[in-house]
Structures are given as C-alpha cells and as structure tokens.
Amino acid sequence: MSKAILNVSDLRVTFDVPKPGAWPWTPPRKLHAVGGMSFDVMEGECLGLVGESGSGKSTAARAIIGLAPISGGSVKFEGQELAGLAGGQRRKLGSEIQMVFQDPLAALNPRMTVGDIIAEPLVTHDSSLSRKEVRKRVQAMMERVGLLPNLVNRYPHEFSGGQCQRIGIARALIVKPRLLICDEPVSALDVSVQAQVVNLLKELQRDLGLSMIFIAHDLSVVKHISDRIAVMYLGKMMEEAPSSELVSNPAHPYTRALISAVPVPDPKLEKTRPRMVIEGELPSPLSPPSGCVFRTRCPMAQESCAREVPAKEHIGSQHEVACPFHARSAEAMPLAV
C-alpha cells in the first residue's frame, strides 16, 4: 500500500481586505479563501480538485507551494511541515514540488528563449551542471513533452497556447519533482488541445511515477485523469471519493449538480435528462454563510444547516461527504444514466 506524500490538515487561508472609503486605521475585513480543508495525496496518485470559480482551489494550491500565506492548519510534505519555513528551506523543496499554471503564455518570461525558460529551475537547483549538460537535458525534456528540440532558441510568442503549456510542463518537470500541482492547466486551451495536454500529463505521471494535484472546474476533464476527486465549495470540502465512485454514486447535492452539468455524448439523452440547476450566486468569501456554506443554494437545506457545520461522514471505505442529508439527495435529485 502506498504512503501519503502530502498531508493537508485543516488548511486555512485568509486575506485582509480594506473597507472601501474607510479610514486607514479601520480594521480590515477578512476574506476566507480556504476555510479548513483536509486531504492526503498518496505516492503516484492524482487527486482532482473540482469546483466552480471562487471555490478556493487555486488558493489552496498556491498555499501548498508557498505562493499564498497559510493562516492556519498544517501542510506536510513527506512528514516535513511546510508552514513557516524560511526562504532558504523552502527553496530546497522547490525541486520536489513544482507547479503548472493556468495561463500558459503569461507564465513564461517573454524576454527569455524557450531553452532558458526550461533550464532556469535546473540551473537554480543544481549549479554544478555544465552548460552542455543543461542544454542536453533541456532538449531531451522538450522532446519528451512533444516539442521539437531545434526550437530551443525561439521565444514564447512564437508558439501556440498548447505549445506554451507544454513548455510550462517541461519547465516544471526538468528538476524531476515528486509532486506536480496543475492549476487549471487546460482551461485556456481549445477542446482538442485540452485532450492532448491531459493525455500528456497522464502519460508523464505514469512513466515518471509522479504524484499530482489536478485542479479544474470541469468535472469531465478531472474524472479522466484523477484517481480520486475532492469537491470544493467556498473554501470547504464537500465530498471526496475515488473517481469512478464519485461519478457513479455522488452523495452531496452540490456534487450531483456538477455532474448534471457535464454534457452527455448522446443527443437524445442530453435533451431529455433532468437538469439540476443551482439557484443563486456564489456567496462572498468576505461573509460566508453560517453552518453549511452551501445551504443558501441547496435544495435540501434545513434549519439545522444554518446552525451547525456538517462533519465529514464516511459512507464507504474511501468515500466521505459533508452533508447530514446525503441519503435523501439521490431521491430528491436523481441522475440520468
């Protein structure tokens, strides 16, 4: 049985937001971007984080890698606590945890050639390598991600969006990380290119033995690449289960609504199947609802949902859901198969 490479426990991320028009000494408001989420990532596993925009997925990923401050909780990589690490200590772990960002072109320095962009992490973490060895490794990695090595001296603007994302993947993998965090890596790409990049990541994970966190708001993409899926809403975990089980037997009303939004490749079934539309807008993280954060949009909400934060309940060996009324959600919100 594989062991956990990353342990996240009660992770909280808050930001101070000044009140518009307030005096400088007025206490700022607290924006609760991540409100206490816990999960583990096993060796060689891909964990999918899914939820609509504003649910805190990207903020959680940035907190893990050190790009956002951790306000509370614990993040451990192979047993080592990451919260509060000094710059030098955090830099040593840079080769172990890498990230692929959402906007492929904006993530690349337009003044640097592709060869220099991919080589930068390698030079930073291993200065003993000769220029010849660095160039050799860069060209090998470019070929590995589907780029021609003779393009090494070109600049990012000379590549398409899909090619730029491959450059970002090559830059992240050049230092042979143990954990790769992909923050919506295909959301800015065409559908056909999305499939190519997702298949590439899946192949690289298998061949290199990578652990991966794959973030997206499209459940159909996440279920294709992930071994396990965790559903987030307004900074909290709603449900977590193996990919196949979550898709075939969702328990939380929010999960069922997300699955209902995934198109079915059958025109007749797509026309006739019932829809589960979530009413209302996502509440502001500046003033999240009391109790269950999903209660203001949940069709099954009760008075008790406003008073108590639902605890995670095991409904299977690896299936957890944070909803006391999950047993009734299947009857109230049936899914068309």
pLDDT tens digits in sequence order for the chain, 337 residues long: 578 999 999 999 999 998 888 788 888 899 999 999 999 999 999 999 999 888 999 999 999 998 898 999 999 998 889 877 766 777 777 789 999 998 888 899 999 999 999 999 998 888 888 999 999 999 999 999 999 999 999 999 999 999 999 999 999 999 999 999 999 998 888 888 999 999 999 999 999 999 999 999 888 889 889 999 999 999 999 999 999 999 888 999 999 888 888 777 777 777 777 777 788 888 999 999 999 999 999 988 888 999 999 988 998 888 999 998 876 655 555 554 4
| DSSP string for residues in 16-79 | EEPPTT--TTSPPEEEEEEEEEEEEEETT-EEEEE--TTSSHHHHHHHHHTSS---EEEEEETT
The closest alpha carbon to 235, from 6, 7, 12, belongs to: 12
**Which residue spans of the chain are classified as CATH 3.40.50.300?**
4-96+177-332
Q: According to the model, what pLDDT value does residue 337 have?
A: 43
Q: Which CATH architecture has domain 4-96+177-332?
A: 3-Layer(aba) Sandwich (3.40)
Q: Are 2 and 45 in contact (CB under 8 A)?
A: yes
The closest alpha carbon to 240, from 324, 334, 313, belongs to: 313
Angstrom distances, CA of residue 17 to CA of 24, 28, 31, 287, 302: 12, 5, 7, 12, 32
Q: What are the tokens at 172?
A: 């992240």
The rounded distance, in Å, linking the Cα atoms of 334 and 337 is: 9
Q: Are 183 and 14 in contact (CB under 8 A)?
A: no
